[in-house]
């Protein structure tokens, strides 16, 4: 008897970064909150992440977002974020993609004009304003995790690169914030291979002994991200602009400037008094893609002074598909995959709102 299962996907992109939104084909996961469901999936069902981010089904440069029931009464849907590095608590670009996919697919009804929705990530609530017209989501603004500077003035000696100074900032995950010019980077597309090599060497060196605890989320795992910061300039529009690049360990330079990377940068600038409530920063990735971050105001996370902010960008639907997963295929590691699949066979119709 053939062991085939079906997974329903909406593939999306924001700033060039692909997010695969899983809308059906997965069993309901244990847990009263999205965080509990995410930690169960990481522990018991990581085969789903590996399947959709590895050949022949996917690529490590993609992300996966599994739609799950929310635990918070204000949320209309929950989502678990999966990337090459593991399970981020929050992601700006993934949130833009999930909101767009849910609205354009009708899983959340689109009302037209400016629409507010609330989603639950593993880190908590993301409050979203979507601008819609003619059945399309034109723009999304999301307020997610407050960002705080955890440690300043850190440094490590990286083999072949020498001393690298950085600040450690939380914005949904921990980021090492590195000033690009100090290492000869202009953050252009032709530097992506060099940025990847630098990021890989840096993370492998910096991780041991580096902070992994969050005041309310507990252990959030080893350092996953590096954000290379360009200089800040003021454009003719009066807005601050900065080139940037985000490295995801292992081996990925994001095509977008990333929402959490932008939030982390805002926290540094606001903490230094260079930006204040209402001020904006446009971050520009090596490929020229752009997000706009806006400082909302100060808050706290545990004992840390922190900053609330929003990220504004766009996402686009790329494909709607139903994958056939052959559990007997030697290229499919079913050891911790079969238990999370819903049991729907590949020739059955799967509802896009079911799990």
Alpha carbon 211 to its chain's center: 20
Instruction: Give the contacts of 277 (CB within 8 A, at least 6 positions apart).
Output: 295, 296, 297, 298
Name the active-site residue from 91, 105, 121, 263. 91
Which DSSP letter does residue 150 get? E
Q: What are the backbone angles phi and psi of residue 247, rounded to the nearest 5°?
A: -100, 130
CB-CB contact of 265 with 180 (8 Å): no
Q: What are the backbone angles phi and psi of residue 318, rounded to the nearest 5°?
A: -110, -35
Q: For residue 173, how many C-alpha atoms fall within 13 Å in the half-sphere facing its CB?
A: 31
d(CA 222, CA 11): 28
Strand partners, 307: 147, 298
Q: Which residue, among 344, 348, 282, 337, has the nearest Cα to 45 in the 3D structure? A: 337
Residue 63 annotated among the catalytic residues of the structure = no
d(CA 81, CA 226): 18
CA dihedral sign, ordered 299, 228, 38, 102: positive
d(CA 22, CA 6): 11
Q: Which tokens sit at 1?
A: 């008897």
Residues catalogued as catalytic: 91
């Amino acid at each position: 008897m053939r062991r085939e299962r079906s997974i329903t996907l909406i593939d999306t992109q924001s700033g060039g970064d692909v997010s695969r939104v899983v809308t059906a084909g997965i069993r309901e996961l244990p847990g009263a909150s999205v965080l509990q469901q995410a930690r169960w999936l990481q522990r018991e069902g990581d085969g789903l992440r590996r399947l959709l981010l590895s050949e022949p089904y996917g690529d490590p440069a993609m992300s996966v977002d599994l739609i799950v029931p929310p635990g918070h009464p204000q949320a209309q849907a929950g989502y678990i974020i999966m990337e090459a590095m593991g399970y981020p608590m929050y992601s700006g670009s993934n949130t833009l993609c999930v909101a767009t996919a849910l609205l354009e697919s009708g899983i959340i009804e689109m009302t037209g004009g400016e629409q507010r929705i609330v989603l639950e990530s593993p880190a908590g609530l993301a409050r979203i304003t979507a601008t819609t017209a003619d059945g399309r989501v034109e723009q999304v603004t999301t307020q997610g995790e407050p960002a705080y500077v955890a440690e300043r003035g850190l440094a490590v000696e990286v083999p072949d690169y020498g001393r690298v100074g950085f600040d450690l900032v939380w914005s949904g995950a921990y980021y090492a914030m590195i000033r690009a010019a100090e290492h000869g980077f202009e953050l252009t597309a032709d530097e992506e291979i060099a940025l990847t090599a630098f990021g890989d060497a840096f993370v492998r060196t910096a991780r041991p002994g580096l902070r992994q605890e969050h005041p309310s989320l507990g252990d959030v795992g080893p350092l996953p991200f590096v954000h290379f910061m360009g200089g800040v300039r003021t454009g003719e529009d009066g807005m601050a602009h900065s080139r940037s690049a985000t490295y995801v360990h292992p081996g990925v330079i994001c095509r977008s400037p990333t929402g959490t990377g932008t939030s982390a940068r805002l926290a540094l600038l606001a903490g230094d008094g260079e930006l204040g409530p209402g001020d904006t920063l446009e971050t520009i990735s090596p490929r020229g893609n752009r997000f706009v971050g806006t400082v909302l105001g100060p808050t706290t996370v545990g004992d840390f002074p922190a900053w609330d902010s929003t990220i504004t960008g766009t996402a686009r639907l790329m494909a709607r598909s139903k994958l056939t997963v052959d559990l007997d295929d030697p290229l499919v590691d079913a050891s911790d995959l079969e238990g999370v699949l819903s049991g729907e066979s590949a020739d059955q119709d799967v509802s896009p709102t079911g799990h």
